[in-house]
Amino acid sequence: MNYPITLSDDLKYLAAYYQWSPEDKVEIRSAFTGSPEMVRFFTVLAAAHRAGYTQCAGNGFIRLNDWCKENGLDDPYDLCFDLKALDALAVLPRKVAA
């Protein structure tokens, strides 16, 4: 798979923005390796943050795709993700390690 030339810089930017741990970086790398959908998500996420995107109470915790649409950026999901299925996963109970 060919990766965008900006991906490395985008991931470095996001790692600093989100303060990813070394373990987070390993997980992120496995998420985008061979996945054009995740590569697109991370490159658009980085572009959005560079352009001022943030989720906060002041903007009603705006979703990334809505913010991108309002600000003329690409859709981070590009019709590749089933958003309803992902939202359903987000509400499933998670096991917490003891």
Residue 16 has pLDDT above 90, yes or no: yes
| Each residue's pLDDT tens digit, 71-85 | 999 889 875 656 566
Domain that holds residue 30: 7-90
Mean pLDDT, residues 34-45: 90
> What value does the mean pLDDT of the chain take?
85
Name the phi and psi angles at 50, rounded to 5. Answer: -65, -30
Residue 60 has pLDDT above 60, yes or no: yes
| Number of domains present in the structure of the chain | 1
pLDDT score at 86: 59
pLDDT score at 15: 97
Q: How far apart are CA 98 and CA 84, in angstroms?
A: 30
Q: Can you give the length of the chain in residues? A: 98
Answer yes or no: is 97 within a domain.
Answer: no
Specify burial of residue 45 (Cβ count, 10 A radius: 0-12, 13-18, 19+). Answer: buried
Q: How far apart are CA 93 and CA 80, in angstroms?
A: 25
CB 39 within 8 A of CB 72: no
Answer yes or no: is 47 within a domain.
Answer: yes
pLDDT score at 33: 87
